[in-house]
Amino acid sequence: MSLPEDLRREFETMVERALEEDRAFDDLTGRLLIPGGLRAAGRMIAGGRFVVCGLPVAEMVFRRLDARVRFAALVEEGGTAAEGDVLCEVEGEARALLAAERTALNFVQLACAVATRTARMVEAVRPLEVDVLDTRKTLPGLRALQKYAVRTGGGRNHRLHLAERVMVKDNHKALLDGDASGVEFWRGIRAALGEAAERAVVEAETPEEAEAALRAGFRHIMLDNFARDELARTVRGLRAAGDAVYVEASGGLGPDDAAEVARAGVDGMSAGALTRHLRTPEVSFEVERL
Is residue 9 part of the annotated active site? The answer reads no
Are 95 and 38 spatial neighbours (Cβ–Cβ below 8 Å)?
yes
Q: Does the annotation count 59 as an active-site position?
A: no
Q: Which residues have CB under 8 Å from 90's CB, separation 6+?
A: 41, 42, 43, 44, 59, 62, 69, 70, 71, 72, 97
In the set 27, 205, 209, 224, the catalytic residue is 224
CA 234/CA 140 separation, integer angstroms: 35
At CA 282, angle to CA 50 and CA 154, rounded to 5? 25
Q: Residue 229's closest CA among 251, 203, 204, 207?
A: 207
The contacts of residue 66 (CB under 8 Å, 6+ apart) are 92, 93, 96, 97, 100
Task: Choose, from 8, 102, 136, 215, the residue flagged as catalytic.
Answer: 102
Catalytic residue among 43, 169, 187, 263: 169
Using left for φ > 0, alpha for ψ between -120 and 50, and beta otherwise, residue 283 falls in beta
Residue type, 191: A
Catalytic, 233? Answer: no
How far, in Å, CA of 126 to CA of 253, rounded?
A: 16
Per-residue DSSP letters for 134-163?
Answer: --S---TT-HHHHHHHHHHTT-B-S-SSTT
102 is catalytic: yes
Report the alpha-carbon distance of residue 189 to residue 201 in Å, rounded. Answer: 12
| 94-125 helix and 143-152 helix, angle to the nearest 10 degrees | 50
Q: How far apart are CA 7 and CA 80, in angstroms?
A: 23
Instruction: Tell me whether residue 203 is one of the annotated catalytic residues.
Output: yes
Which is catalytic among the residues 8, 43, 136, 137? Answer: 137
- Distance between CA atoms of residues 159 and 165, nearest Å: 7
Let me know: does 69 contact 63? Beta carbons within 8 Å: yes
The single residue of 66, 91, 93, 203 carrying the catalytic annotation is 203
Q: Which residues are marked as active site? A: 102, 137, 169, 203, 224
